[in-house]
Amino acid sequence: MSEAKIEIQIGAVKFSGEGDKNWLSEQLDKILENAKELVALASPAENSDPAHQEADFSNATSISSQPLATFLKSKNATTAQIDKFLATAVWCESKGKNRLKTNDITSALKKATQSKLANAADCLNKNVSKGYCEKDGKEFSDCL
């Protein structure tokens, strides 16, 4: 018998197994068949920070029509680095930019004569870990 190991995470559900490769393959097939249900087990509220206010995109023109400085003030995101990063990302997305890079955030802040972020990449990673953005290589999107 050959031993195999696997570890898979879908949403908040994590499975790790070790054993015969045929048995392990069967277990993996069961997990993949039920992937939609497993993702639904973790509600967005479980991963969110209660102090964070989700951006309302129902009327994105109300965001994109504001200067960045005004939008940051309205979201109380002028001092906390992570909040400033996220609010700036939301503002950039409201302008029609779907795939962002950290440079887009720092450039937007600079053009709006706002104070710069100490470490934009760290701000992105912290927002991703909280579930507020999705990272794909050097780009990110779907900021809440």
Percent of the chain at pLDDT exceeding 90: 10
CA-based nearest residue to 116, from 106, 126, 131: 106
* Burial track 97-117 (b if 16+ CB lie within 10 A, e otherwise): eeebebebbbebbeeeebeeb
Q: Is the pTM of this model over 0.75?
A: no
Here the tokens at position 45 are 């509220």
pLDDT by residue, tens only, the chain of 144 residues: 567 787 877 666 677 878 888 887 888 788 778 777 776 665 444 445 555 555 545 456 677 788 888 888 988 988 899 999 998 888 888 888 878 888 999 999 999 899 999 999 898 888 888 888 888 888 887 676
For 64-83, how does the pLDDT look when each residue is reduced to its tens digit (9 = 90+)? Answer: 788 888 888 988 988 899 99
Q: Which domains does the chain have, with CATH numbers?
A: 3-42 (no CATH), 61-141 (1.10.10)
